[in-house]
Amino acid sequence: MNVAKSAYRVFSANSSAACTELAKKITERLGVELGKSVVFQESNRETRVDVKESVRGQTIFIIQTIPRDVNTAIMELLVMAYALKTSCAKNIIGVIPYFPYSKQCKMRKRGSIVCKLLASMLAKAGLTHIITMDLHQKEIQGFFSFPVDNLRASPFLIQYIQEEIPDYRNAIIVAKSPAAAKRAQSYAERLRLGLAVIHGEAQCSESDMADGRHSPPCVRNTTGHTGLELPSGKQQAPFPGIELPIMMAKEKPPITVVGDVGGRIAIIVDDIIDDVGDFVAAAEILKERGAYKIYIMATHGLLSADAPRLIEESAIDEVVVTNTVPHEVQKLQCPKIKTVDVSMILAEAIRRIHNGESMAYLFRNITVDD
């Protein structure tokens, strides 16, 4: 007995016209119309959402791209999800190509894991499933109490390398830090290219400060535990027989490139390009080591602050990003920025989820480290 599928609708939760372009491309590929809704900001900056059609008993997909005003976009998504929930939608599935706050997924001293907070807020608002792309850390999926499909942009970026970079066989894949080496290795293996890794003191130390367990105060010149200091200024007697090891300061070696980039096209791969200082520094090092062209390939092109100007003035020849984040203004400021469209895989994911089909096809030839 065939059971008819319930209807589904696709909405955009963005109040900015520039952010709805991806939603329009996805609905065009699906052959459906974008749901009728109004999302706007009140004069006092409160977010208001009005859904203009019935969604009762339907599966709803909310497409939310994240512009520079991240917090407003999050509130738009939460308010729309809750509006659909209270309108008796059957399932509410968020399509969030770039998941915000994904870099804040680890404890930083006395900070908080904001990504986990956001996951809880989305569940409370009514979302039952999320489709996203290239999470900053794959372990983020464990923050959610509902299914998460973490799609990959690497097939599109690899296709761009093969079709748009002349003589790509003479290229070498570069990781701008040891932390990015696994992703770079995945690209190198599928393209049958060599691998190089930049290591040293000029790199970002994000991983060094990611865990609060490195934060005890510096050890004084003592050989053991001298006791606990009480609020009154007195010291409690030390625990007998306990000696703490001396905590050595961590020092980075001088910057170096592991691998031969001389006479090669250097392709730096990463998941996010935002503050481009690290990429510009890496490009200068690669030029000094003999690379004659430098490309940056990243999934999410946030390109904040002066990123377009810094890219234009740098040794970087081209920056290739997907359209998970709107960046048309940045492209006007810097012609080196190129865009790869990933609406095809997002539309296919929506179609498969609605029809109850397997998602395995979208992850074929994808490695765990990708």
Look up the CATH number of the domain holding residue 318. 3.40.50.2020
pLDDT tens for the chain, 370 residues long, are 343 456 899 999 987 887 899 999 999 999 999 999 999 999 999 999 999 999 999 999 999 999 889 999 999 999 999 999 999 999 999 999 999 999 988 888 888 999 999 999 999 999 999 999 999 999 999 999 999 999 999 999 999 999 999 999 999 999 999 989 999 999 999 999 999 999 876 544 444 444 444 444 444 444 444 555 555 555 555 566 677 777 677 677 778 899 999 999 999 999 999 989 999 999 999 999 999 999 999 999 999 889 999 999 999 999 999 999 999 999 999 999 999 999 999 999 999 999 999 999 999 878 777 7
Alpha-carbon span 163 to 167, nearest angstrom: 10
DSSP string, 189-252: HHHT-EEEEEESTTS--GGGGS-GGG-SPPP-S-SS---PBPTTS-BPPPPTT--PPP-PPP-P
Count of structural domains within the chain: 2
> Sign of the CA dihedral 157, 162, 163, 169?
positive
Residue 361 in any domain: the answer is no
52 and 95 fall within a common domain: yes
Q: What is the DSSP string of 304-319?
A: -TTHHHHHHHSS--EE
The answer to whether residues 278 and 313 belong to one domain is: yes
Give residues with Cβ within 8 angstroms of 49, minimum separation 6: 13, 37, 38, 39, 76, 79, 80, 83
297 and 163 both lie in a single domain: yes
* C-alpha–C-alpha distance, residues 177 and 199, integer Å: 6
> Do 171 and 316 belong together in one domain?
yes
In one letter, which amino acid is 257? V
Residue carrying structure tokens 């490139």:
257
Q: What is the dihedral of CA 103, 118, 18, 336, to 10 degrees?
A: 10
| pLDDT value of residue 323 | 95
**Domain span including residue 109:** 7-150
* Statement: the pTM of the whole predicted model exceeds 0.75: yes
Last residue of a domain, one of 128, 150, 172: 150
Half-sphere exposure of 104 (CA within 13 A, CB side): 13
pLDDT at 251: 73
Q: In this structure, is residue 210 part of a structural domain?
A: no
Residue 352 inside a domain? The answer is no
pLDDT confidence of residue 95: 97
Domain assignment present for 214 = no
If asked whether residues 191 and 263 sit together in one domain, one would say yes
Contact 122, 105 (CB under 8 A): no
Do residues 272 and 160 both lie within one domain? yes
Looking at the structure, do residues 38 and 163 belong to the same domain, yes or no? Answer: no
- Position 7 scores a pLDDT of 82
- Whether 279 and 191 map to the same domain: the answer is yes
Provide the β-strand partners of residue 63: 12, 95
Based on the domain organization, do 159 and 307 belong to the same domain?
yes
Instruction: Please report whether residue 238 resides in a domain.
Output: no
Per the listing, tokens 């942009």 go with: 153
- Looking at residue 240, its pLDDT comes to 64
Tell which residue, 58, 93, 62, 96, has the closest CA to residue 80: 62
pLDDT at 366: 81
Kindly tell me the burial class for residue 109, based on how many C-beta atoms sit within 10 Å of its own C-beta (0-12, 13-18, 19 or more): exposed
Q: Residue 301, Cα to own-chain centre: how many angstroms?
A: 9
> What's the farthest any 2 CA atoms get from each other in the chain?
80
Same domain, 32 and 128: yes
What pLDDT sits at residue 253? 77
pLDDT in the model for residue 337? 97
Strand order across the 8-12 sheet: 8-12, 59-63, 91-96, 129-133, 148-151
DSSP-based three-state secondary structure for 330: helix
Q: Are residues 197 and 85 in the same domain?
A: no
DSSP run (H or E) holding 159: helix 154-164
Residue 242 lies in a domain: no
Whether residue 344 is contained in a domain is answered as no
DSSP letter string, 275-290: STHHHHHHHHHHHHTT
Q: Please give the C-alpha separations between residue 263 and each of 171, 173, 189, 288, 294, in angstroms, as whole numbers.
A: 9, 13, 20, 11, 11
Q: Do 91 and 165 lie in a common domain?
A: no
For 28-61, how does the pLDDT look when each residue is reduced to its tens digit (9 = 90+)?
A: 999 999 999 999 999 999 999 999 999 999 999 9
Q: Which of 109, 130, 150 is the last residue of a domain?
A: 150
CA distance 113 to 120: 11
Could you tell me if residue 357 is inside a domain?
no
Residue for token digits 């865990």? Answer: 211
